[in-house]
Copies of this chain bind each other. A is one copy, B any other.
Amino acid sequence: MTLSDGRRPGSRAVAADHVSLRRNNLSVVLRHVRDLGPRSRARIADDTGLNKATVSSLVAELVERGLLREGSADSTRTLGRPGQLVELDGSGVCGVGAEINVEYLAVIALNLSGETVFEQRVPVDVAHLDPGATLDRLTDLIKQAVAAVNGQVAGVTLAVPALVQGETGALKLAPNLGWSEFPVAAELRRRLGEPPYSVHVDNEANLAALAAYAELQADVHDLVLLTGAIGVGGGVVTGGHLLRGSQGYSGEVGHMPVAPAGRTCGCGRTGCWETVVGLTALLHQATDADDPVRDPSLDVEQRLAEIKRRAEAGDVRTLAALRDVGDWLGIGGAVLANILNPDVLVLGGYFAVLGPWLKAPLEQAIRERVIAPDGGGCRVVQSALGFTAAVRGGAQISLDQVFLDPTGVAQ
């Protein structure tokens, strides 16, 4: 019954023609080899149900486009002459992910095999730069990444801690950057010299959720990723798809009203979840104003390593602050688990670094407050991607276009 669920009568009534059939089958073969590894044409035919002549023709086209290549002889064959394996040719195409966040700029380039070709993150106090100057600095980083790519760039996807208007890529509101109504996609495209590849902009938590989804095991199709930084965002994958909402503004979990007596939020309201679980809330409780871990000109990972060191050393003030943040994390986490019933709540950003102290109170709240038996099976895991999740998700979504329509790559 899952096929029909929630599908409006007629909304997906698309007749397949033979051009789209071939494009679909090119995509099937390419993804098959990516996901299951090098294999012979005969094996691909067996696995996919396509006939051998069709597979040969599809593989030939994918080789010509530089997406597959001939590999070694098939050593698994015991009868007849050995077949030639085909394997993913990762080198020819890269996806680029970039990120503007409150305290840093970052860029990564991944090739078709998912290997990192270029990676850089620089601490920048973005809230004190104007959008144009920030984009200038980011453009330099992206150009370095593009120069490092030996082959075609499939696209650039920029992550921002902001409400992004889905269709235009215009930034509507980024409370923690102090930006609003800025046509960031168009401005970046212009700075990159109107490049032949696509330039997209998306919410950082959405892209981080996609990266977390790729990071997790194959039986997880429903997850919520929480990005812990100055702001707190949520990226929701449900049934294997990113939940975007009607205008792309979903996942604004940082602004759930949970703490009526809390501090004023970057958005101007009081009581928002991020005022009690964001990095600022932790730093205010755990440190004094002149503590270097509050200095945004230092790399955020170094600062968090210091907090972690203090917690490991049993520093009472640090541990109390972590316990308090963990309890508040549980309040909001239970709301999310009740509404979305994810398999997994993924801790990203600073939540992941300090996960050993935050997980227990969060798990306890889910057990106690979620209506489904055993908290609906919702596990809490720490992402290993740290602050690279959003740029990785951006690079992956750029590459996804190639996997879904290999004919978009020049022959």
Contacts and interface: CB of A to CB of B under 8 A. Distances in A.
Given A244-B341, A245-B222, A245-B376, A31 B10 contact: yes
B5 A340 contact: no
Nearest to A338: B252
Contacts of A255: 338, 369-371
B257 A334 contact: yes
Contacts of A240: 6-8, 11-12
A373 interface: yes
Given A13-B31, A15-B48, A372-B172, A336 B334 contact: no
A376 B247 contact: yes
A94 to B, nearest CB: 16
Interface stretch (A22-30, A134-142, A304-312, A317-325): A22-30
A237 B369 CA distance: 24
A32 interface: yes
Contacts of A267: 371
A331 interface: yes
Contact of A372 (B48, B249, B334, B373): B249
Contact of A238 (B14, B50, B175, B243): B243
Interface string A237-281: 111111111111111111111000000000101000000000000
A49 to B, nearest CB: 5
A16 interface: yes
A405 to B, nearest CB: 8
Given A243-B239, A257-B331, A341 B248 contact: yes
A207 B17 CA distance: 33
A220 B214 CA distance: 30
Interface stretch (A64-72, A349-357, A384-392, A395-403): A395-403
A289 interface: no
Nearest to A396: B9
A371 to B, nearest CB: 4
Interface residues of A, number: 92
Contacts of A25: 15-16
Nearest to A272: B371
B13 A16 contact: no
A69 B172 CA distance: 51
Given A16-B25, A31-B9, A242-B6, A339 B250 contact: yes
A4 B341 CA distance: 23
A242 B341 CA distance: 13
Q: How many protomers of this protein does the assembly include?
A: 2
Interface string A22-64: 0011011001101110000000000011100000000000000
A133 interface: no
Given A11-B240, A200-B1, A339 B246 contact: no
A50 B129 CA distance: 56
Nearest to A11: B240
A121 interface: no
Contacts of A404: 3-4, 7
Contacts of A126: none
Contacts of A243: 6, 238-239, 243, 340
Given A249-B341, A254-B371, A256-B335, 11 more contacts: A4-B403, A5-B242, A6-B241, A11-B218, A15-B48, A21-B21, A238-B243, A239-B244, A249-B371, A249-B376, A339-B340
18 contacts: A3-B404, A6-B209, A6-B210, A6-B241, A9-B400, A10-B31, A10-B32, A10-B35, A13-B27, A13-B32, A15-B28, A163-B371, A163-B373, A238-B243, A239-B241, A252-B339, A253-B338, A267-B371
| 8 A-B pairs with least C-beta separation | A245-B341, A6-B242, A10-B35, A4-B400, A249-B372, A246-B343, A250-B341, A222-B246
